[in-house]
Chains A and B, each alone.
Chain A
Amino acid sequence: MKLFLKKHWWKTLSAILLIYVVVAGLLMDAPRLPILNETIRALYFHVPMWFGMIILLAISMVNAIMYLSSNNTNRDIYSMEFANTGVYLGILGIITGMIWAAFTWGSPWSSDPKQNGAAIGILIYLAYKVLRNSIPDEQRRARVSAVYNIFAFAALVPLLFILPRMTDSLHPGSGGNPGFNAYDLDNRMRMVFYPAVVGWTLFGIWLTSLRIRYRIVKSKFEES
């Protein structure tokens, strides 16, 4: 992990993919759908925020488990910073979703089950930050927040992926049928959407890596 964060190839890949996403996302043909019109292209930016969030929060949870089994302080730093970036992407996802919804669903917040689930999920992770700040002892903070992190992720998955599918939702792929079938995602969009997911996620990891390295340098500096 430590070595991976300092390698450069995946950062270059992220940059190339993001430039491709902006250029191809705006220029390539997109399906003509009523109501959505050209805003369909928002999919390349709004949805990758959520994919990035869930991947970063999963990495955060894995690092929380690894902290509990190893007691390595760096694992706690990884876990915290991946959660921070994940929450940040989630907030961007909510804001972009609200802008998009205001134009297509008629209101920024329609209490759609997925919107509500996402909001609750973000609040759970904001409580994680509050919890961290409220425990002064380093060892205790790391242990308690690692345990909380695992439960937070376990609560997030049903909130985002299970509960919205059990009722009707304005989001595609909800109300029984999982997303990404022929009607939800056009083949032309696939060619931009999946690179967008990889590009934005890698960019999120890149920003996280900067914060992790800053924290580790800071802790070394405080030791000496």
Chain B
Amino acid sequence: MTIQKILVAAALSIILFLSFPFTGVGQDIPGAREKVEMADRFRQEGKIYVVVAIMGVTLVGLLIYTVGIDRRISRLEREVDQSRQYHNH
């Protein structure tokens, strides 16, 4: 168990280390702001938050549902173990 914990912790710290921006903020191709079309107006109008909210709610909803299934399986595991103990006596 401890070895597993160490491995997981090591993997996570490497990942976090990698995700840190060492060399400052990245650079765009020169002139990209004018040439490359991005959803700038969409963002300025705040409509992006609608998308964030909808995707966020969908994700959180699915996560909550997953937690519910996890709990049901835990309960089932306890019940099966209990009934097996009962039958063995």
Contacts from A to B (Cβ < 8 Å) = 1, 3-4, 6, 10-11, 15, 18-19, 22-23, 26-27, 29, 31-34, 37-38, 186-195, 197-198, 206-207, 210, 213-214, 216-217, 220-221, 224
* Chain A minimum-CB-distance residue to B88: A224
B69 contacts the other chain (CB 8 A):
yes
B60 and A19 form a contact (CB under 8 A): yes
CA distance A206 to B73 in the complex (A): 13
Known interface pairs A32-B38, A217-B76; A187-B23 also in contact (CB < 8 Å): yes
Known: A22-B59, A26-B51, A188-B26. 8 other contacts (CB 8 A): A19-B56, A32-B32, A32-B33, A187-B24, A188-B25, A190-B20, A207-B66, A224-B80
CA distance A193 to B58 in the complex (A): 20
B55 and A22 form a contact (CB under 8 A): yes
Number of interface residues of B (CB under 8 A): 45
Contacts from B to A (Cβ < 8 Å) = 1, 4, 8, 12, 15-16, 18-26, 28-29, 32-33, 35-39, 48, 51-52, 55-56, 59-60, 63, 66-67, 69-70, 73-74, 76-77, 80-81, 83-84, 87
* Chain B minimum-CB-distance residue to A55: B11
B83 and A206 form a contact (CB under 8 A): no
B73 and A217 form a contact (CB under 8 A): yes
* Chain B minimum-CB-distance residue to A185: B26
CA distance A187 to B29 in the complex (A): 14
The prevalent SS among residues of A at the interface is helix
Known interface pairs A206-B66, A210-B70, A217-B76; A224-B28 also in contact (CB < 8 Å): no
A33 and B29 form a contact (CB under 8 A): yes
CA distance A91 to B63 in the complex (A): 21
Shortest C-beta distance, A14 to chain B (Å), equals 8
A15 contact from B23, B63, B81, Cβ within 8 A: B63
Known interface pairs A187-B26, A213-B73, A217-B80; A37-B38 also in contact (CB < 8 Å): yes
B59 contact from A18, A197, A214, Cβ within 8 A: A18
CA distance A197 to B11 in the complex (A): 12
A191 and B21 form a contact (CB under 8 A): yes
Shortest C-beta distance, B25 to chain A (Å), equals 6
